[in-house]
């Protein structure tokens, strides 16, 4: 057959490059079906971005597909278990403003609108507390599963926090040693095209060339193939989300057995917010801010104050603070000719809700699952890929903006600008109008591969203090549903009681798992 796809060349060895290589090789090499060559070229001189430590539950499935054991991840990557995000001071600065966006869905979510029932008693406790035991598990500092729970299974849903550099190394070793991915350490210095504009090969600094049928651009913010070679511009999203820089720092625990939080803590500050991610040996902390509203010195003062407040006794002068500028936005096209962008080369928006790795997982698994057999089919797959990724990016922007537009904070120009309805995407404005009379529901996030299902919207909406204005918000079937709801709430509180009695702390689970080695 003409133009068969037999060799994929991935440029870049960050998380995007290795996840793509791992998924492709696990699915298409040695499976007896189509034998595919997977080559990854990585510059020995250009470091990876080195951040990206919070993931979604989807990472469990990705690791399973690639064939990595959970115990190996926990042991090799300083990893811990993440059950969602804790938002502090987002709606107001009264010192007691906390809500969770947990990973577990509200009970019986496919068919029951528990939100309608909670709205009647919303003054008695949080939405998350009402609908899932996970809220109490997080508050108690417990892990999402027991030591004896099989790998990747759970009592309450979870993803991971891990060291990004160690994670890329684990993926690299597994892809090369177990999945037969060819690794070339070299700088790509030039790209050569054939007559119809496809990339024919990349030229390395050694003078050697690497030819291929499909090229994956994982070169990070450089976007060497899609951005530089094909000239696809970055569509800025600054009109919605203003943050465009981060200051990251790694902070050791005061004592080696200090508790490890099982959520990412995201604390809103005067300009932007601060992430706080607990690994086994350290916390990863970073301040995301808008350079239009704050200079670097002011941002540095804010992150230093946060570290000082949350890590008493730490010598700030021993720490290395790293500033990372970024342009919030995504490419107009992700797949052009025979070249597709995955990861930062395709775009980046601030890491609130950790959507970047989840998007990488989505992109890489679409490429792997729909790997075109030949060049003709590739054109169709590319068109569909572009439409799908465009949808996901729009959804991410809307979901992140929700956290800002609902805030009541007015302690700075930054928060006033964030709340300005003019800075809200029209589709989100429409949804907010609709949610005045009904909770977010499946129609609001209708795809099966949705990054943020409507349950996520419920958690943030009600966590931020949003309440519907109209009577019809209470739904028409409430009375009929009452016996089912009562039974469910009783079962939830029973499950909560059992979990609080049986689950280990995050630290205890991590400690037990680091002594295991790749047990299936
Ligand atoms: C401040 C910040 C915080 C973040 N936090 C999170 C988070 O909590 N959760 C989350 O999901 N995501 C997060 N992200 C995003 C996440 O870090 C990235 O999506 C992820 O690390 C993937 O990066 P990458 O592989 O695309 O790029 P990189 O890590 O930058 O890798 C680029 C690779 O390309 C190679 N390369 C470049 N040019 C050449 C060349 N000419 N020849 C050969 N090789 C080349 C480099 O050597 C490198 O290996 C965060 C990002 C930032 C900026």
Q: Is the pLDDT of residue 486 over 50?
A: yes
Short-list 16, 357, 367, 340, CA closest to 172 = 16
Q: How far are the Cα atoms of 233, 359, 427, 458 from residue 394, in angstroms, in the given order?
A: 17, 12, 9, 18
Which atom of ligand 1 is closest in space to residue 248's alpha carbon? 1
Q: What is the separation of C-alpha 185 from the centre of its chain, rounded to a whole number of angstroms?
A: 28
Residue ID of nearest Cα to ligand 1 atom 33 = 12
Q: Which of 2-16, 255-269, 335-349, 473-487 has the lowest mean pLDDT?
A: 473-487
Residue 403 CA to ligand 1 center (angstroms) comes to 25
The single residue listed with the structure tokens 């024919």 is 200
pLDDT for 273-325, tens place per residue? 999 999 999 999 999 999 999 999 999 999 999 999 999 989 999 999 999 99
The set of protein residues with a Cβ atom below 6 angstroms from ligand 1 is: 11-17, 41-43, 46, 48-49, 51-55, 164, 187-188, 218-220, 222, 224, 246, 248, 286, 324, 326, 343-345, 351, 354, 356-357, 360
Q: Is the pLDDT of residue 34 over 50?
A: yes
Which atom of ligand 1 is closest in space to residue 359's alpha carbon? 11
Mutate which of 77, 190, 351 for ligand 1 pocket (most atoms within 8 A of beta carbon): 351
What is the Cα–Cα distance from 389 to 401, expressed in whole angstroms? 18
Residue 208 CA to ligand 1 center (angstroms) comes to 25
Dihedral angle sign, alpha carbons of residues 367, 368, 374, 380: negative
* pLDDT tier, 520 (very low <50, low <70, confident <90, very high otherwise): very low
**The Cα angle at residue 388 between residues 385 and 391, in degrees rounded to 5:** 145
Residue ID of nearest Cα to ligand 1 atom 50 = 52
pLDDT for 199-232, tens place per residue? 999 999 999 999 999 999 999 999 999 999 999 9
Residue 356 CA to ligand 1 center (angstroms) comes to 10
What is the Cα–Cα distance from 36 to 377, expressed in whole angstroms? 17
The single residue listed with the structure tokens 């956290």 is 403
Which atom of ligand 1 is closest in space to residue 44's alpha carbon? 47
Residue ID of nearest Cα to ligand 1 atom 2 = 51
Residue 255 CA to ligand 1 center (angstroms) comes to 31
**The Cα angle at residue 402 between residues 399 and 407, in degrees rounded to 5:** 155
Which atom of ligand 1 is closest in space to residue 218's alpha carbon? 26
Mutate which of 51, 201, 349 for ligand 1 pocket (most atoms within 8 A of beta carbon): 51
The single residue listed with the structure tokens 């996840």 is 19
Predicted pLDDT at 364: 98
Once rounded to an integer, what is the mean pLDDT over residues 458-477? 82
What is the Cα–Cα distance from 274 to 248, expressed in whole angstroms? 9
The single residue listed with the structure tokens 């939080």 is 261
Short-list 183, 79, 85, CA closest to 138 = 85
Residue 89 CA to ligand 1 center (angstroms) comes to 29
Which atom of ligand 1 is closest in space to residue 54's alpha carbon? 8
What is the Cα–Cα distance from 297 to 230, expressed in whole angstroms? 37
Once rounded to an integer, what is the mean pLDDT over residues 74-81? 97
Q: How many residues does the chain have?
A: 520
What is the Cα–Cα distance from 518 to 507, expressed in whole angstroms? 19
Mutate which of 11, 19, 48 for ligand 1 pocket (most atoms within 8 A of beta carbon): 48
What is the residue-averaged pLDDT of the chain? 95
> Can you give the three-state secondary structure of 84-146, one letter per residue?
EEEEECCCCCCCCCEEEEECCCCCCCCCCCHHHHHHHHHHHCCHHHHHCCHHHHHHCCECCCC
Three-class secondary structure of residue 51 per DSSP: coil
Once rounded to an integer, what is the mean pLDDT over residues 33-59? 93
Q: What does pTM read for this prediction?
A: 0.96
What is the Cα–Cα distance from 121 to 126, expressed in whole angstroms? 9
Predicted pLDDT at 478: 81
Reading the block at residue 390, the tokens are 């465009």
Residue 164 CA to ligand 1 center (angstroms) comes to 9
């Amino acid at each position: 057959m003409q133009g068969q796809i037999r060799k994929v060349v991935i440029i870049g060895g960050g998380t995007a490059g290795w996840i793509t290589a791992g998924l492709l090789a696990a699915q298409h090499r040695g499976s007896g079906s189509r034998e595919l060559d997977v080559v990854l070229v990585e510059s020995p001189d250009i470091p990876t971005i080195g951040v990206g430590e919070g993931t979604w539950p989807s990472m469990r499935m990705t690791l399973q597909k690639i064939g990595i054991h959970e115990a190996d991840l926990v042991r090799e990557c300083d990893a811990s278990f993440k059950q969602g995000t804790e938002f502090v001071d987002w709606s107001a600065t009264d010192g007691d403003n906390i809500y969770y966006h947990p990973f577990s869905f509200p009970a019986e979510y496919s068919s029951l609108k528990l939100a309608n029932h909670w709205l009647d008693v919303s003054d008695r406790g949080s939405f998350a507390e009402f609908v899932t035991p996970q809220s109490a598990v997080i508050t108690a500092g417990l892990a999402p599963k027991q030591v004896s729970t099989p790998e990747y299974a759970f009592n309450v849903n979870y993803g991971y926090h891990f060291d990004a550099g160690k994670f890329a190394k684990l993926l690299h070793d597994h892809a090369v040693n177990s999945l037969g991915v060819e690794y070339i350490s070299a700088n790509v210095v030039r790209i050569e095209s054939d007559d119809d504009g496809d990339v024919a090969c990349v030229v390395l600094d050694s003078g050697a060339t690497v030819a291929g049928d499909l090229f994956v651009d994982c070169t990070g913010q450089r976007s060497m193939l899609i951005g530089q070679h094909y000239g696809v511009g970055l569509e800025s999203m600054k009109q919605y989300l203003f943050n465009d820089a981060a200051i990251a720092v790694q902070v050791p625990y005061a004592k080696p057995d200090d508790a490890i939080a099982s959520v990412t803590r995201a604390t809103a500050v005067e300009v932007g917010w601060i992430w706080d991610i607990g690994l086994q040996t350290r916390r990863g902390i970073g301040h995301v801010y808008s350079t239009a509203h704050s200079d670097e010195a002011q941002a540095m003062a804010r992150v230093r104050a946060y570290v000082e407040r949350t890590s008493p006794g730490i010598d700030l002068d021993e720490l290395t603070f790293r500033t990372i500028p970024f342009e919030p936005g995504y490419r107009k096209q992700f797949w052009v000719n025979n070249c597709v962008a995955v990861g930062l080369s395709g775009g980046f928006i601030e890491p609130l809700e950790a959507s970047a790795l989840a998007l990488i997982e989505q992109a890489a698994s679409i490429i792997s699952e729909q790997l075109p057999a030949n060049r003709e089919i590739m054109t169709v797959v590319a068109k569909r890929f572009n439409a799908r990724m465009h949808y996901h990016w729009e959804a991410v922007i809307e979901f992140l903006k929700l956290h800002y537009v609902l805030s009541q904070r007015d302690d700075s120009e930054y928060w006033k600008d964030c709340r300005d309805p003019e800075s809200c995407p029209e589709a989100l404005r429409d949804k907010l109008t609709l949610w005045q009379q009904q909770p977010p529901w499946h129609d609001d996030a209708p795809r099966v591969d949705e990054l943020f299902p409507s349950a996520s919207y419920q958690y943030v909406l009600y966590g931020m203090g949003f309440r519907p204005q109209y009577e019809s918000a209470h739904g028409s079937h409430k009375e009929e549903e009452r016996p089912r709801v009562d039974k469910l709430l009783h079962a939830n509180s029973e499950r909560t009681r059992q979990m609080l009695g049986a689950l280990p702390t995050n630290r205890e689970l991590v400690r037990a798992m680091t002594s295991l080695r790749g047990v299936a």
